[in-house]
Amino acid sequence: MRRENAEPRRSPHRLRAFVPGLGHLALGHTGRGVRLMLFSVATIFLVVWRWDRFIDAFSTPFLDRWLASIFLILMLAGVIWYSLRDVGRIQQSAGEERRGKSPWAVAMRRFRENRLAVYSIYIIILFYALAILAPILTPYDPAAIPDVMANRYLPPSGDHLFGTDEFGRDLFSRALYGARVSLSIGLLAMIIAKTIGTLYGSVAAYFGGTVDNVLMRIVDVWIAFPTFYLMLMLVGVFEANIVVLVLILGLTAWPGTARFIRGEILSLKNQAFTESARAIGLPAHLIIVRHLIPSALSPVLVTAALAVAGMIGAEAGLSYLGLGIRPPTPSWGNMVAAGKDNLLNAWWVAFFPGGLLTLTLISFSLLADGLRDALDPKALMQKYV
Amino acid sequence: MLKYIIKRLLLSVPLVLGIVTATFFIARLAPGDPMDMYLEPQRQRQVDPEVIELMRKRYGLDQPIHVQYVTWIKNVARGDFGESFRHRRPVRDIVAEAVPYTLQLTILALLLDALFGISLGIISAVKQYTKLDKTLTVGSLIVYAIPGFWLALMLIMLFSVNLGWFPTSQTRSMNYEDLTMIGKFLDRLWHLALPVFVLGIAGAAGTARYMRNRLLEVLNEEYIVAARARGFRERTVIVKHALRNALIPIVTIYGMSLPFLLGGATIIETIFAWPGMGRLTVAAVGGRDYPIIMATTTIAALLTVLGNLLADVTYAAVDPRVSYDAPRKR
């Protein structure tokens, strides 16, 4: 149906949009409206429920509490902004479905069709949000050791969702703080690995010849090492704290990306768009950064999702072995290790942190699968042409 | 064929040299005195400084770094990795005892991987887009993502602690010596069951996925259409025509999966108290036993190179399209 009037209608729904979801409900988009409403109600509930922590955060010198409160405000602002914009968009296009034709828009639509991948992305976002909000959410101080004899090894209950550990610490609180460590290490290490790998591989491919040869022989050697052995060795050589661990994970995992990107760039660098960029005198680094890397990036996105999972898994493995993040700082890996000797009497100590870890890794793996399907150039072309 | 094998062997010589070099320099990157790698700092304080100087001389640490490097290469070539300072024995002997255990574990895991991975992949491809296929595909993604150490612990909790079906750890029972030959064999298998399962199952999930995609690709080719047109039964088409071509590239997948298996084995061996290279390395990293760390890391890398070599040679042997003489471009 086409609109006769090109000018957007002034509408009574505009005001309603300030209550997130109400505008959608009025326009008949019930599902999205209810979701937006639930989201904003949950956020407001959080602020009210933990009002003193929310406010106190601004007068403490702790960056993480500060971040948590800012994040809550941003969540609220974000949902209002989004619903305003979205209601406006729905009204503008009044019934007409807007279908973007760019490859990214097509990929986005294909991705949305994959329900498992969409749920995975929700879970991942939820976990990252929980991790950021940990100082506001956690019912107990993760490090506080109460009366040990009365509190140790309590099974999961309303008071302690995940039970307590051998020192009587609340495992739910520790798991949320552990999520901060595990999830941020995974993300940062992935970014380091992908950045180095991408730059390295594209430099090798673009310059070719001796440069390529030397650079790729280094990669060959690096790849020959089983990654986990390399990590173990580096952890043995350097004293591992969080920063060092991120660097170790990132610096061991880049060569795969380098080799992959090199292959992609090799096939791109003789195509017309590269030649014309060279013809107008663009310097090499700009050709690489502005033209070659963006063209090769979409498959990297798929491997990036897998790499986050790989890095989180590696960190958990190292911490499990007692060589990564060390207690009392909680990470999912060392929490599982803490429960490994008491599986019979206190199964929950190892089960819950490991379960969260597993759920995270599965989500990233399903997300990568969805991205792969959505970004597959062959499938893209079929739908596009 | 022989010429091809020799060529591949020669090509891996610089790679091996690179591996040995990398291990040396990574170890030398360590902050602090390289002397710490031979004698723990705590002990150094107790020992007479003159003795330390003497040791420094003996290990060649007073030499410039390039001389040390050449010495290291020479020693590795002779299989001499120095002496472990935890065990007070030559590293070579300790590692030689551990490697067979790791190989046992990884080779059995590879077999399990092949058995489950290939058959499930075939089932999945043949029943494409059915419920079974979808379950297998999503299931393999999920199994692939489960961290091995957590799976191991949960299986131990379920099967060893609660049900008592499998042993929790170790390679053999207490009464191993009293068993008959068959009893001994079964006892070893019984102890291998859980670690091999945990180690192999993730790989099996990956293989199943790969196998499915490969077989589907092959099933789309024209000669398959032709075979069907000639009226062969579907079973014959798949088993006799499609499968042969679909299985070939699986060989390379196995060559590439070796580093992951070795890496995964480190944690699994530690959990099951399996006296292999992985547990040795983990213990050595915990105890700063540098000679052992350097040795096992080098050997793990060399095993990987060997695995890739075997995979390449097997691939060349089974795929008639590979010519032995032309060097393959990477």
At residue A6, the pLDDT reads 47
In angstroms, what CA-CA distances link A196 with A284, B17, B161?
Answer: 18, 24, 45
Paired with B90 in beta bridges are B83
Within 10 Å of residue A337's Cβ, how many Cβ atoms? 24
Using 50, 70 and 90 to split pLDDT, how confident is the model at B329?
very low
The whole-number average pLDDT for the span A38-65 is 81
Looking at the structure, do residues A361 and A247 belong to the same domain, yes or no? yes
Task: Tell me whether residues B146 and A366 touch, CB distance under 8 A.
Answer: no
Integer Cα distance of A15 and B148 in angstroms: 53
In degrees and rounded to multiples of 5, residue A169 shows phi and psi of -80, 150
Q: Name the residue among A309, A323, A362 with its Cβ closest to that of B286.
A: A323
* pLDDT > 70 fraction of chain A, expressed in percent and rounded: 90
At residue B324, the pLDDT reads 56
Using 50, 70 and 90 to split pLDDT, how confident is the model at B33?
low
CATH of the domain at A361: 1.10.3720.10
At residue B159, the pLDDT reads 86
Among A97, A119, A134, the domain-final residue is A97
Within 10 Å of residue A210's Cβ, how many Cβ atoms? 8
Domains and CATH numbers, chain B: 91-318 (1.10.3720.10)
Using 50, 70 and 90 to split pLDDT, how confident is the model at A185?
very high
Which residues of B fall within a CB distance of 8 Å from A249?
Answer: none
Residue A123 contacts residue A117 (beta carbons within 8 Å): no
Task: Tell me whether residues A317 and B300 touch, CB distance under 8 A.
Answer: no
Using 50, 70 and 90 to split pLDDT, how confident is the model at B314?
confident
Structure tokens at A137: 């959410």
Which residues of A fall within a CB distance of 8 Å from B22?
Answer: 221-222, 225
pLDDT at A143 over 80: no
pLDDT at A385 over 50: no
Q: Judge whether A286 lies within some domain.
A: yes
Q: Which residue of A182, A319, A321 is the best one to mutate when testing the B interface, meaning the one whose CB has the most B CBs within 10 A?
A: A321
Integer Cα distance of B36 and A238 in angstroms: 12
Integer Cα distance of B81 and B107 in angstroms: 26
Task: Annotate A168-216 with DSSP letters as a single string.
Answer: --BHHHHHHHHHHHHHHHHHHHHHHHHHHHHHHHHHHHHH-HHHHHHHH
Structure tokens at B129: 């887009």
* pLDDT > 90 fraction of chain B, expressed in percent and rounded: 16
pLDDT at B183 over 80: no
Integer Cα distance of A317 and B279 in angstroms: 13
Residues A244-261 have pLDDT tens digits of: 999 999 999 899 889 888
Residue that wins the pLDDT comparison between A63 and B151: B151
Which stretches within chain B are classed as H helix? 2-28, 41-46, 49-58, 65-77, 91-126, 131-145, 148-155, 181-219, 222-229, 234-236, 243-247, 250-271, 277-286, 290-318
- Using CA coordinates, name the residue in chain B closest to A114: B138
**What is the Cβ-side half-sphere exposure of residue B259, based on CA atoms within 13 angstroms?**
22
At residue A377, the pLDDT reads 62
pTM as predicted: 0.86
Sequence-separated (6 or more) residues with CB below 8 Å from residue A306: A364, A365, A368
In angstroms, what CA-CA distances link B98 with A318, B168, B276?
Answer: 21, 20, 4
Q: b or e along A296-308 (b: 16 or more beta carbons within 10 Å of the residue's beta carbon)?
A: bebbbebbbbbbb
* Mean per-residue pLDDT over chain A, rounded: 82
Looking at the structure, do residues A246 and A379 belong to the same domain, yes or no? yes
Amino acid at B203: G
Among A97, A120, A137, the domain-final residue is A97
Name the DSSP class of B238: I
Q: Name the residue among B149, B153, B294 with its Cβ closest to that of A317.
A: B149
pLDDT at B239 over 90: no
Residues B90-139 have pLDDT tens digits of: 888 899 999 999 998 999 999 999 999 999 999 999 888 889 998 998 99
- Look at residue A164 and give its three-state secondary structure: strand
Q: Judge whether A133 lies within some domain.
A: no
Task: Tell me whether residues A343 and B161 touch, CB distance under 8 A.
Answer: yes
Q: Judge whether A132 lies within some domain.
A: no
Smallest CA–CA separation between B265 and chain A, in Å?
Answer: 10
Nearest to B74, CA basis, from B84, B63, B88, B85? B63
Using 50, 70 and 90 to split pLDDT, how confident is the model at B258?
confident
At residue A95, the pLDDT reads 55
Looking at the structure, do residues A84 and A231 belong to the same domain, yes or no? no
Q: Which range, of A222-226, A354-358, B79-83, B136-140, averages the lowest pLDDT? A: B79-83
At residue B37, the pLDDT reads 65
Looking at the structure, do residues A175 and A323 belong to the same domain, yes or no? yes
ipTM above threshold 0.95 = no
Looking at the structure, do residues A335 and A208 belong to the same domain, yes or no? yes
Which residues of B fall within a CB distance of 8 Å from A340?
Answer: 153, 271
pLDDT at A361 over 90: yes
Sequence-separated (6 or more) residues with CB below 8 Å from residue B167: B160, B173, B190, B191, B194
Considering Cα of A160, then A164, then A169, then A171, what sign does the dihedral take?
A: negative
pLDDT at B186 over 50: yes
Domain interval for residue A272: 148-384
Residues A192-213 have pLDDT tens digits of: 999 999 999 989 988 888 999 9
Q: Which range, of A46-60, A200-214, B36-50, B118-132, averages the lowest pLDDT? A: B36-50
In angstroms, what CA-CA distances link A288 with A340, A344, B200?
Answer: 49, 57, 41
**What is the Cβ-side half-sphere exposure of residue A179, based on CA atoms within 13 angstroms?**
29
Q: Judge whether A169 lies within some domain.
A: yes
Q: Judge whether A309 lies within some domain.
A: yes
Q: Which range, of A27-41, A154-168, B182-196, averages the lowest pLDDT? A: A154-168
At residue A99, the pLDDT reads 65
At residue B41, the pLDDT reads 66
Looking at the structure, do residues A47 and A183 belong to the same domain, yes or no? no
Structure tokens at B314: 């097997």
| Rg value, chain A, Cα | 25
Integer Cα distance of A171 and A60 in angstroms: 25
At residue B39, the pLDDT reads 67
Range ranked top by mean pLDDT from A165-169, B158-162, B230-234: B230-234
At residue A2, the pLDDT reads 46
Q: Which range, of A380-384, B136-140, B145-149, averages the lowest pLDDT? A: A380-384
Task: Annotate B69-96 with DSSP letters as a single string.
Answer: HHHHHHHHHTT---B-TTT-SBHHHHHH
Task: Tell me whether residues B150 and A350 touch, CB distance under 8 A.
Answer: yes
In degrees and rounded to multiples of 5, residue A364 shows phi and psi of -65, -35
Task: Tell me whether residues A321 and B270 touch, CB distance under 8 A.
Answer: yes
Q: b or e along A258-278 (b: 16 or more beta carbons within 10 Å of the residue's beta carbon)?
A: bbbbbebbbebbeeeebeebe
Phi-psi map region of A217: left, alpha, beta (phi>0 left; psi -120 to 50 alpha): alpha
Looking at the structure, do residues A258 and A166 belong to the same domain, yes or no? yes
Number of compact structural domains in chain A: 2
Task: Tell me whether residues A320 and B294 touch, CB distance under 8 A.
Answer: no
Which residues, numbered 314 to 343 in chain A, qualify as contacts with chain B under a Cβ-Cβ cut-off of 8 Å? Answer: 316-317, 320-323, 333, 336, 339-340, 343
Range ranked top by mean pLDDT from A256-260, B51-55, B247-251: A256-260
Q: Judge whether A166 lies within some domain.
A: yes
Looking at the structure, do residues A221 and A306 belong to the same domain, yes or no? yes
Structure tokens at A312: 């989180």
pLDDT at B330 over 70: no
Integer Cα distance of A228 and A314 in angstroms: 7
Using 50, 70 and 90 to split pLDDT, how confident is the model at A379?
low
The whole-number average pLDDT for the span B16-26 is 89
- Look at residue A28 and give its three-state secondary structure: coil
Looking at the structure, do residues A159 and A300 belong to the same domain, yes or no? yes
Task: Tell me whether residues A362 and B145 touch, CB distance under 8 A.
Answer: yes
**Packing angle, helices A209-224 and B2-28, rounded to 10:** 80
Q: Judge whether A129 lies within some domain.
A: no
The whole-number average pLDDT for the span B189-195 is 86
pLDDT at A381 over 60: no
The whole-number average pLDDT for the span A133-143 is 79
Residue A28 contacts residue A11 (beta carbons within 8 Å): no
Structure tokens at A238: 């350097």
Looking at the structure, do residues A316 and A251 belong to the same domain, yes or no? yes
At residue A384, the pLDDT reads 41
Task: Tell me whether residues A316 and B147 touch, CB distance under 8 A.
Answer: yes
The whole-number average pLDDT for the span A227-240 is 86
Looking at the structure, do residues A270 and A335 belong to the same domain, yes or no? yes
Integer Cα distance of B149 and A340 in angstroms: 10
In angstroms, what CA-CA distances link A85 with A1, A7, B23?
Answer: 22, 17, 56
Among A32, A65, A97, the domain-final residue is A97
Sequence-separated (6 or more) residues with CB below 8 Å from residue A105: A99
Within 10 Å of residue A327's Cβ, how many Cβ atoms? 14
Q: Which range, of B5-14, B39-48, B275-284, averages the lowest pLDDT? A: B39-48
Using 50, 70 and 90 to split pLDDT, how confident is the model at A298?
confident
Looking at the structure, do residues A60 and A183 belong to the same domain, yes or no? no
At residue A3, the pLDDT reads 46
Nearest to B154, CA basis, from A358, A275, A289, A296? A358
Integer Cα distance of A367 and A123 in angstroms: 10
pLDDT at A9 over 70: no
End-to-end CA distance of chain B: 20
Nearest to A117, CA basis, from A303, A362, A367? A367
Which stretches within B59-180 are classed as H helix? 65-77, 91-126, 131-145, 148-155
At residue A173, the pLDDT reads 86
